[in-house]
Amino acid sequence: MTPRPGLPRPRRPRAGFLIGVLLMAASFLVYPAYPVLVFLPVSASRRAQATIGATGLSWGLFAIGLYVAGRRGWVWLRRRWRARRRGPPPGPVFPAS
């Protein structure tokens, strides 16, 4: 259902945003598993399959989380990424006494 021109767009509930952000965060929990996958006592082809599967799981969770969070989640993530690249924000400025 598309909104009519001039009417505000319906907002997704906050729960969707939070679930999406949690899914995006969970996608990063796969990365600590990569060193473990290297030392699995299986053949090299099985290790490669496990690594590809873990990568797919990570990106899949991230994509689903981004979809569930919607535009609001994308804007939130982009702001965090840009803030991280610029460094911490300046501290509060207090008037001289």
What DSSP string describes 51-75?
HHHHHHHHHHHHHHHHHHHHHHHHH
Digit-coded pLDDT (tens) for 15-73: 888 888 889 889 988 888 888 888 889 999 999 999 999 999 999 999 999 888 888 77
| 33 vs 77, residue with greater confidence | 33
pLDDT of res. 83: 79
CA distances from 55 to 27, 28, 32, 45, 72 (A): 9, 10, 12, 15, 25
| 61 vs 12, residue with greater confidence | 61
Burial of 2 (0-12, 13-18, 19+ CB in 10 A): exposed
Cα 96 off chain centre by: 41
Residue type, 74: W
pLDDT of res. 43: 92
Q: For residue 22, count other CB atoms closer than 10 A to its CB.
A: 14
